[in-house]
Amino acid sequence: MPSERENEKTRLPDRAEYVKPPLQGFALIGTAYRAMTTSVLPNGEAGLWSESLGLFLWLDGPALRFYNPETGRNLRTPSEEAARADAEVARRRELEAEIADLKERLRKS
């Protein structure tokens, strides 16, 4: 018997133009997997609701994305998260340099 985490499966083919819809999901109902219904997500995109994750799954071009209906936002992709972290580090360095400059000015006055 599959665990709670194994009660849903998704399929995203390498060549999505040959499969309609390109993102397909299957949920375990009883002892058989049944196709999940595609629906329009709150962000206006077509996708699937995952009971297991509590998130919507949808395609942004070739990329699989996750939409959180509680926050009304997509989860960040690894590259988006890396860019956000890099920007945060850069901003912190700018602020630290500004603080050091202000301390130096205070020391001289």
Domain ranges of the chain: 1-75, 76-109
Give the predicted TM-score (pTM) of the model. 0.68
pLDDT in tens, 95-108: 999 999 999 999 99
The tokens describing 25, both together, are 């999901």
Task: Give the 3-state DSSP-derived string for 25-82, with helices as H, strands as E and coil as C.
Answer: EEEEECCEEEECCCEECCCCCEEEEECCCCEEEEEECCEEEEEECCCCEECCCHHHHH
pLDDT in tens, 23-75: 888 888 888 888 888 889 887 888 999 988 899 999 888 888 999 989 999 99
